[in-house]
Amino acid sequence: MDRLILGLEWYVVFLFSIVLHEAAHAFAALRLGDPTAYHGGQVTLDPVPHIRREPFGTAIVPIVSFLLGGWMIGWASAPYDRHWAMRRPRRAAVMALAGPVSNLLLVIAAAASIRAGIALGFFLAPERLSFTSLVVARAGGTASWAAVMLSILFTLNLVFLVFNLIPLPPLDGSGVIAFFMSPDTARRYLEFTSAPMLSFAGLMISWRVFGQVFDPIRLIAVNLLYLGHAHYG
């Protein structure tokens, strides 16, 4: 029963985080002149259109990864007009950045909630930190449930933020680079990085380097959360 409850907590946080990420892409694209995702129903926090578009990445993979490894991975997507992106590469770069920014805001919101819970006496720092126990409750019940949810919210969105900002296709970080290029250079760059094999290679390389990039960033983030007095064990 405890594992089932933990799985539900994981899935609620995972689904909310990934839906917000894609909705942010879709909303930014709409505001910047590309209504493709809006017409596809992705400018919403309702998870149904996002699950319908990517059922494998939003439902099957997260559940299987939790059953096998105790944590969730997965993906979703929002469609966009490639012709619009080629015409407006800087706007497309802003659209690409919108997803990671949403994850950063969730990290900040989780951190603020954790700090508020500590200040009010509901939470305290655990002796040993982990993905699901970044903070613990002084008592059981709702506070214990909230501590687990906030721990997952903080770390999972930090994972999404860092991974998606790796500047390799097809990740968001690759699209953000175009903002700093001239329009003609950006168009050639976007055309080059759209090759399927390059995207596959980019994903493989990103998975290999992610741990080396993420671990020091996680340590910095947690020390900021606890004002330098926490440590990973």
Let me know if residue 153 belongs to a domain: yes
Give which of 47, 46, 65 is closest to 7, Cα–Cα: 65
Let me know if residue 233 belongs to a domain: no
Distances (CA, A) of 3 to 9, 11, 85, 231: 10, 12, 44, 26
Query: Which of 45-49, 127-131, 142-146, 159-163 has the lowest average pLDDT?
Result: 127-131
pLDDT at 24: 98
Let me know if residue 231 belongs to a domain: no
pLDDT, tens only, 66-81: 999 999 999 999 999 9
pLDDT at 233: 46
Distances (CA, A) of 228 to 106, 161, 179, 212: 21, 22, 34, 21
Domain count, the chain: 1
Place 229 in a pLDDT band, splitting at 50, 70 and 90.
low
User: Domain containing 54: what range?
Assistant: 2-225
Let me know if residue 136 belongs to a domain: yes
Q: What is the mean pLDDT of residues 174-187?
A: 94
Let me know if residue 65 belongs to a domain: yes
In whole angstroms, give the CA distance from residue 232 to residue 25: 33
pLDDT, tens only, 96-152: 999 999 999 999 999 999 999 999 999 998 988 888 999 999 887 889 999 999 999
In whole angstroms, give the CA distance from residue 94 to residue 36: 16
Let me know if residue 126 belongs to a domain: yes
**Percent of the chain scored above 70 by pLDDT?**
97
Let me know if residue 175 belongs to a domain: yes
pLDDT at 141: 83
Reduced to 3 states, what is the DSSP secondary structure of residue 96? helix
Let me know if residue 232 belongs to a domain: no
DSSP-derived secondary structure letter, 211: H
